[in-house]
Amino acid sequence: MTNTIAIGIQWGDEGKGKIVDLLAPKMDVVARFQGGPNAGHTLVIGDQKTVLNHIPSGILHANILSLIGNGTVVDPFRLVEELDMLIAAGIPVAERLRISDRCQLILPYHRALDAAREVAKGEAKIGTTGRGIGPCYEDKTARRGIRLVDLNADDLDARIDENLRYVNFMLVEFLGAEAVSKAAVVEALDLARERLLPLAADVPLILHENIKAGKNILYEGAQGSMLDVDHGTYPFVTSSNTVAGAALAGLGVGPEQVDEVLGICKAYTTRVGSGPFPTELYNADGMEDASGQHMAEKGQEFGATTGRPRRTGWFDAVVVQHAVRINGVTGLAITKLDVLDGLEEVKLCVGYEHHGRRLQSIPACAKALSECVPVYETLAGWSENTFGLTDVNKLPEAAKKLLQRIEEVCGSPVKMLSTGPDRDHICHL
């Protein structure tokens, strides 16, 4: 049995979709446990590119069951669009996908609140994806959320009226935005009832039966550890726990069911949205650096969901060490090594200096983190092309050295190395 949790361990977009799609054939079930349409997971198979928001990245494979767990938040409009995109591509998604009946629904007022709050924050905005994620998780915790199973509840109409009274007061009186109509909410609920409810299931029961039968489960994270609501760069984080521990609560399985925790990270670092990023070199707001620009251009660093340009910087081993600790990472999958091809030198951040004091871990305060100066180790770069390499022995010596240092400094073995976006661009170590 190799039940594996595969998670991002930087600020998201580490290449989780690619790695999960690649591991999926060894699995029987692939399950998402948190996040929602803020995620954009890219799968590239030949000239076919698929971007998934809610649906697990194993969906393109036959004979693999895809599950969306109770820890996720689901936008009926977007999920139905995603289903239709897959159906149009010939994927029998209704056969392969089940959604927890306990999933929280993202409704039009969540998106309206997300947008209005960002506007109200002005310069201090979080830079959310605008998908209503924060307000939906807030409602879940406040026990006023609407779940898939609630679509047929007798008191649904009354609950919607009560929620609308509250959110429209916030939107209009407090945030100066427009009210959301009941008709817009009812449209979302009707769509969910028609298209999502038929896929609803008791996910913990399905998982339990699969586990009992000795099947392999792959737990697919969204976002990354530095965006975790507790362990990330709060308040510049998403509104869910993104760490490995969340896989259990977000699906309804016990800890003894997990054998491996695969930490996925790029050979450099990117971030989209606001918040501290100590090794940042380059961004669309005017921070300039040739190596950072090289990463942004060669790595095509634009958000898979929002199209926003991503900020880029050197590999931050302090971030990855932190992630190795909080997730119990048993091995690393390093992606986008090929993007570093052609750089004369590459740097690794091995510590921070804060007001002249050396820190070895991440300060809990975002302001303190933003004041940290990275301590770098500089390694030689390489001019050879690693794009698409599948044999680790053919790597340039300098690339091997970088991987060796990453393993040593982060305290976790590199188990997979991705050298291009395609499913086949992979070295197993």
| Active site residues per annotation | 13, 41
CA distance 146 to 251: 18
Is 15 near Mg ion (CB under 5 A)?
no
Non-local CB neighbours of 29 within 8 Å, separated by 6+ positions: 58, 64, 65, 66, 67, 206, 207, 210, 215, 216, 217, 218
* SS3 at position 176: coil
Binders of ligand IMO among 221-280, rule CB under 6 A? 222-224, 227, 238-239, 272-273
- Give helix then strand counts, H and E, for the chain: 13, 21
Non-local CB neighbours of 194 within 8 Å, separated by 6+ positions: none
- State in angstroms the smallest separation of the CB of 72 from ligand IMO: 11
Residue 246's H or E segment, with its range, is helix 245-249
- State in angstroms the smallest separation of the CB of 289 from ligand GDP: 20
Cβ-closest residue to ligand GDP? 42
Is 126 near ligand IMO (CB under 6 A)?
yes
The entry of ligand IMO, ligand GDP, Mg ion, none near residue 129 (CB within 5 to 8 angstroms by kind) is ligand IMO
- State in angstroms the smallest separation of the CB of 34 from ligand IMO: 10
CA distance 324 to 9: 8
Is 55 near ligand IMO (CB under 6 A)?
no
Q: Binding segment for ligand IMO among 31-39, 200-208, 209-217, 371-379 (CB under 6 A)?
A: 31-39
Q: Which of 3, 50, 70, 129 binds ligand IMO (CB under 6 A)?
A: 129
Is 127 near ligand IMO (CB under 6 A)?
yes
Q: Which of 13, 14, 75, 301 binds Mg ion (CB under 5 A)?
A: 13
Neighbours of 303 (CB within 10 A): 17
Q: Which of 38, 72, 283, 412 binds ligand IMO (CB under 6 A)?
A: 38
Decide whether 274 or 386 has the Cβ nearer to ligand IMO. 274
Cβ proximity of 382 and 376 under 8 Å: no
- State in angstroms the smallest separation of the CB of 1 from Mg ion: 29
Q: Which of 20, 33, 34, 40 binds ligand IMO (CB under 6 A)?
A: 40
Q: Which amino acid is at 319?
A: V
Q: Which of 36, 40, 381, 421 binds Mg ion (CB under 5 A)?
A: 40
- State in angstroms the smallest separation of the CB of 336 from ligand GDP: 4
The entry of ligand IMO, Mg ion, ligand GDP, none near residue 421 (CB within 5 to 8 angstroms by kind) is ligand GDP
Is 313 near Mg ion (CB under 5 A)?
no
The entry of Mg ion, ligand GDP, ligand IMO, none near residue 227 (CB within 5 to 8 angstroms by kind) is ligand IMO
Q: Which amino acid is at 261?
A: V
> In which region does residue 130 sit, left (phi positive, over 0), alpha (psi from -120 to 50) or beta (all else)?
left
Q: Binding segment for Mg ion among 138-146, 148-156, 299-307, 375-383 (CB under 5 A)?
A: 299-307
Per DSSP bridges, beta strands 217-220 and 104-105 are: unpaired
- State in angstroms the smallest separation of the CB of 266 from Mg ion: 11
Residues that bind ligand GDP (CB under 6 A): 8, 12-18, 40-42, 44, 304, 335-336, 338-339, 418-421, 425
CA distance 244 to 326: 8
The entry of Mg ion, ligand IMO, ligand GDP, none near residue 369 (CB within 5 to 8 angstroms by kind) is none
Widest Cα–Cα separation across the chain = 66
CA distance 138 to 21: 31
Residue 24 CB-density burial (10 A; 0-12 exposed, 13-18 middle, 19+ buried): buried
How would DSSP label each residue in 195-225? IIGGGEE-HHHHHHHHHHTT--EEEEP-S-G
- State in angstroms the smallest separation of the CB of 298 from ligand GDP: 7
Decide whether 100 or 419 has the Cβ nearer to ligand GDP. 419
CA distance 63 to 51: 20
> In which region does residue 27 sit, left (phi positive, over 0), alpha (psi from -120 to 50) or beta (all else)?
beta
Decide whether 15 or 71 has the Cβ nearer to Mg ion. 15
The site for Mg ion (CB under 5 A) is made up of 13, 40, 304
The site for ligand IMO (CB under 6 A) is made up of 8, 11-13, 35, 38-41, 126-129, 131, 133-134, 222-224, 227, 238-239, 272-273, 304
